[in-house]
Structure formats: structure tokens, C-alpha cells
């Protein structure tokens, strides 16, 4: 059995990805970079929404505290940062180059047995089990007791997300030295702000917010 993190993409994003991959497979003569660039922006926004901004409303169901503000700040920072980076790094490209970029989409598209179509990545079994153990404690009302363990697990998960959603995406782009250096700086900022938010957010959660948090992420962890 393997373990994964994956979320269901919006109908529009899935349709765009399917269209791009079909066009490339059929060697469509029309330039595909416009569609590919649009997908990159949409996918970036959906990843940030799923990992951060969708949690804002969830946190507010049972008292917000500082959690909503932390998530909104990080989500806004990441969108602004990533949109700026994509504007610099994405541009006109021939279909052969777009096909290389599409390898990233192929790798991130999960088609698991008896499951919905997901965007995600293989998650190491140890991290998956740490999540499951923490979620079991949270469901029993022991969220505060496992807060620091969950902080550690979320930091490991943050790194896995950065590798899968950032590093592997940048790796398929044909970038010069300056843009690669810029990407490296951006990565460092994302890692720093993400970990800082986790350190502040998780210990601040109420018992019910822990349960909401656990239920939300548990739905995106899959074992097949």
C-alpha cells in the first residue's frame, strides 16, 4: 500500500489539463503555451486555496482567534509571490517545450484505484502515519496534547509540498541563471513563512478547531 496527499481540482482546471494533455498527445499544430500558462496560474491558486485559504472559513465556524488572520496573510503572500514569479518565468514556448512542462502535470495528476481524480503527490508512509496518529488523538478530544507533534508533522508536510508543487515545477522550466536564483530565493521565503504560520496557528486552535482541521486534511490523505 502507498500513501498520498491529493485534492480534487475544480471542474474548470481539470478540463483545461485534460484539454492540454489531449492536444499535446494528438500533436495539435496550434500553440499551446497560452493554455499551459493559464493552467499554471489556476493550479497555483487552487493549491494555495486548498492548503490555506479554504481553512479560514473552517476556523471561523468555532471561534476564529488569530488563525484566520494568519492563514489569510500567508495565502495572500504566497499568491502575490507566485504570480510575480510565474509572470517572469512563463512566456512564449513552442509545443515541444510545453510538452516538457506538461510532464509536471502528468506527475501531479493522481488516478488511484476506486478514488476521485486528484492533484497531489506520493506522501511517505511515516508522515502519513504521524498524521493519522495525531488525527486519532484529536478526534478523541486530545488536540492540545498533540499540538507540538502536529507542528513537526506539518513542517515535514510543508517541505513535501514545496518539493512537489514548487521544486518539481521549476525543474521542468527552461530558466536562465537569474531566474533560477530568483526561484531559489522565492522557495526560501515560502518555506520560512509557511513554517512560521504552522508554529503560530496550531497551538492556538481550540478543541473543535483541531477537529475541523483534522477532518479537512484527513479527507485529502489517501492510502491505496
Model pTM above 0.95: no
219: number of Cβ within 10 Å? 10
Write down the pLDDT at residue 45: 97
Q: What is the mean pLDDT of each run of 10 residues along the chain (224 residues)?
A: 96 98 97 97 97 83 70 91 92 94 96 95 97 97 95 97 97 91 94 94 92 95 94
Distance of CA 69 to the CA centre of its chain: 19
What is the chain's alpha carbon radius of gyration, rounded to the nearest angstrom?
18
Q: Comparing C-alpha atoms, which of 61, 89, 77, 103 is closest to residue 189?
A: 77
Amino acid at each position: 500500500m502507498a500513501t498520498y496527499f491529493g485534492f480534487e481540482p475544480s471542474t474548470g482546471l481539470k478540463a483545461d489539463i485534460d484539454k492540454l494533455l489531449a492536444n499535446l498527445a494528438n500533436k495539435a499544430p496550434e500553440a499551446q503555451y497560452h493554455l499551459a500558462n493559464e493552467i499554471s496560474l489556476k493550479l497555483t491558486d487552487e493549491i494555495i486555496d486548498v492548503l490555506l485559504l479554504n481553512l479560514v472559513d473552517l476556523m471561523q465556524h468555532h471561534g476564529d482567534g488569530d488563525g484566520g488572520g494568519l492563514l489569510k496573510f500567508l495565502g495572500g503572500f504566497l499568491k502575490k509571490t507566485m504570480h510575480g514569479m510565474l509572470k517572469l518565468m512563463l512566456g512564449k514556448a513552442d509545443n515541444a517545450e510545453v510538452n516538457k512542462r506538461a510532464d509536471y502535470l502528468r506527475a501531479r495528476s493522481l488516478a488511484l484505484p476506486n478514488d476521485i481524480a486528484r492533484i497531489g503527490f506520493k506522501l511517505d508512509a511515516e508522515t502519513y502515519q504521524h498524521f493519522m496518529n495525531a488525527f486519532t488523538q484529536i478526534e478523541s478530544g486530545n488536540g492540545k496534547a498533540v499540538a507540538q507533534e502536529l507542528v513537526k508533522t506539518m513542517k515535514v508536510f510543508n517541505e513535501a509540498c514545496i518539493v512537489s508543487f514548487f521544486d518539481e515545477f521549476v525543474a521542468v522550466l527552461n530558466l536562465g541563471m537569474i531566474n533560477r536564483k530568483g526561484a531559489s530565493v522565492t522557495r526560501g521565503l515560502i518555506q520560512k513563512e509557511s513554517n512560521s504560520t504552522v508554529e503560530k496557528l496550531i497551538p492556538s486552535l481550540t478543541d473543535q478547531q483541531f477537529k475541523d482541521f483534522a477532518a479537512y486534511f484527513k479527507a485529502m490523505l489517501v492510502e491505496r
